[in-house]
């Protein structure tokens, strides 16, 4: 395993935040508001998948991107995912989930995504979840064929452990003539889902989380120059409930927020100290990690997205004590 843990994090290409579109349904006005707010917040990457809304997310992304002026359209990167079969009926007629990363499925999935998006190519295709029955090299060959056909520029993966990520990296190194590597790995990561962080910090401790092979993923991604994207970074609002995206302005407001207790109160305290929104604090906790993490934010609320824009500044000013206070509060226990 090639893990050079001292290597600095890879520079992020584009905005620190990515706009997730899993919730973009048929309500185009709501999605349009999210896209505008995302662009205003400096976001340059849209994340979708063939299974989101059974294709409706991709259709909405495609329609809204087509409405943009040419310059804004060209500055946007669209990434999509394939490899999960979600709506196939089982013997009892009810849909069963399975994973398929075979060349035929990946190529057909990508072509169907491009149709829905109305695009000639996507920037990045992510393999959504691992299909253990398909050798990684077969999936990589399918990506390279699609790239040759001009349908996609880069390859990413999602929800995969370190060994499989490195298998992709090695297969690309062996098969791609131009030395292209894996673009990104997308994993659930945030104050609510701290596995990748706690696996490092609590190594060999009784409270160490079960990581199923992803324990050193953050450092390995940084060392390999692979972008680590964090899905679910706002924890669906668990730590910012009731927020309108504004910065808590005074001690009275902070005291009211803190009265609830628990991790949300610590998020509010740190927001007051840094004079940023609570959303910015939650995302800054991720950006502060030395792995070049890019949160994939799933909000459609323009005020919340505007609040998220302060995350990079908050991360630059968040000190180690504040970071640890947030972590400890989310964990619900003091550190060993």
Ligand X SMILES: NC(=O)c1ccc[n+]([C@@H]2O[C@H](COP(=O)([O-])OP(=O)(O)OC[C@H]3O[C@@H](n4cnc5c(N)ncnc54)[C@H](OP(=O)(O)O)[C@@H]3O)[C@@H](O)[C@H]2O)c1
277 sits near ligand X (criterion: CB under 6 A): no
53 sits near ligand X (criterion: CB under 6 A): no
10 sits near ligand X (criterion: CB under 6 A): no
Residue-by-residue DSSP string for 180-235? ----EEEEE-BTTB-HHHHHHHTTTSTTPPP-TT-TTHHHHHHHHT-EEEEESTTG
63 sits near ligand X (criterion: CB under 6 A): no
Residue-by-residue DSSP string for 136-166? HHHHHHHHHHHHHTTSEEEEEEES--HHHHH
Query: Rule CB under 6 A: which of 30-49 touch ligand X?
Result: 47
Q: How many amino acids of this chain bind ligand X (CB under 6 A)?
A: 25
SS3 for 12?
Answer: coil
Helix (H) or strand (E) holding 119: none
User: Binding mask 286-305 vs ligand X (x if CB under 6 A, - otherwise)?
Assistant: ----------xxxxxx--x-
Instruction: Please state, in angstroms and rounded to a whole number, the distance separating the CA atoms of residues 220 and 49.
Output: 25
244 sits near ligand X (criterion: CB under 6 A): no
Q: Which of 88, 293, 278, 55 is nearest to 197 (CA)?
A: 293
User: Binding mask 162-201 vs ligand X (x if CB under 6 A, - otherwise)?
Assistant: ------------------------x---------------
Q: Please choose, out of 15-23, 94-102, 142-150, 195-203, the segment that lies near ligand X by the rule CB under 6 A.
A: 15-23
Instruction: Please state, in angstroms and rounded to a whole number, the distance separating the CA atoms of residues 334 and 109.
Output: 46
CB of 38 to ligand X, least distance (A): 11
234 sits near ligand X (criterion: CB under 6 A): yes
Binding-site ranges for ligand X (CB under 6 A): 20-23, 47, 158-159, 186, 231-237, 240-241, 243, 296-301, 304
């Amino acid at each position: 395993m090639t893990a050079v843990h001292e290597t600095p994090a890879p520079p992020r290409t584009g905005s620190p935040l990515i706009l997730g579109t899993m919730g973009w349904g048929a309500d185009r006005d709501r999605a349009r508001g999210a896209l505008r707010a995302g662009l205003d917040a400096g976001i340059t990457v849209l994340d979708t998948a063939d299974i989101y809304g059974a294709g409706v997310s991709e259709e909405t992304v495609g329609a809204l991107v087509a409405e943009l002026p040419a310059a804004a359209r060209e500055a946007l990167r669209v990434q999509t995912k394939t490899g999960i079969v979600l709506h196939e009926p089982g013997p009892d007629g009810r849909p069963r989930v399975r994973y398929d990363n075979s060349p035929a499925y990946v190529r057909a999935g990508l072509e169907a995504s491009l149709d829905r998006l109305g695009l000639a190519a996507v920037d990045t295709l992510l393999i959504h979840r691992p299909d253990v029955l398909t050798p990684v090299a077969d999936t990589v060959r399918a990506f390279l064929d699609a790239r040759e056909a001009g349908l996609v520029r880069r390859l990413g993966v999602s929800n995969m452990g370190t060994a499989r990520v490195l298998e992709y990296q090695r297969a690309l190194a062996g098969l791609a003539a131009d030395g292209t590597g894996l673009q990104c790995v997308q994993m659930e990561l945030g104050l609510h889902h701290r596995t990748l962080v706690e696996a490092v910090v609590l190594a060999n401790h009784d409270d160490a989380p079960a990581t199923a092979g992803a324990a050193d993923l953050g450092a390995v991604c940084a060392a390999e120059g692979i972008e680590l994207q964090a899905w679910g970074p706002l924890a669906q609002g668990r730590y910012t409930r009731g927020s309108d995206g504004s910065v808590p302005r005074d001690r009275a407001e902070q005291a009211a927020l803190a009265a609830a207790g628990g991790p949300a109160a610590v998020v509010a305290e740190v927001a007051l100290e840094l004079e940023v929104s609570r959303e910015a604090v939650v995302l800054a906790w991720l950006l502060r990690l030395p792995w070049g993490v890019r949160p994939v934010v799933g909000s459609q609320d323009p005020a919340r997205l505007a609040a998220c824009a302060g995350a990079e500044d908050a991360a630059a000013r968040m000190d180690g004590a504040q970071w640890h206070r947030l972590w400890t509060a989310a964990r619900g226990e003091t550190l060993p």
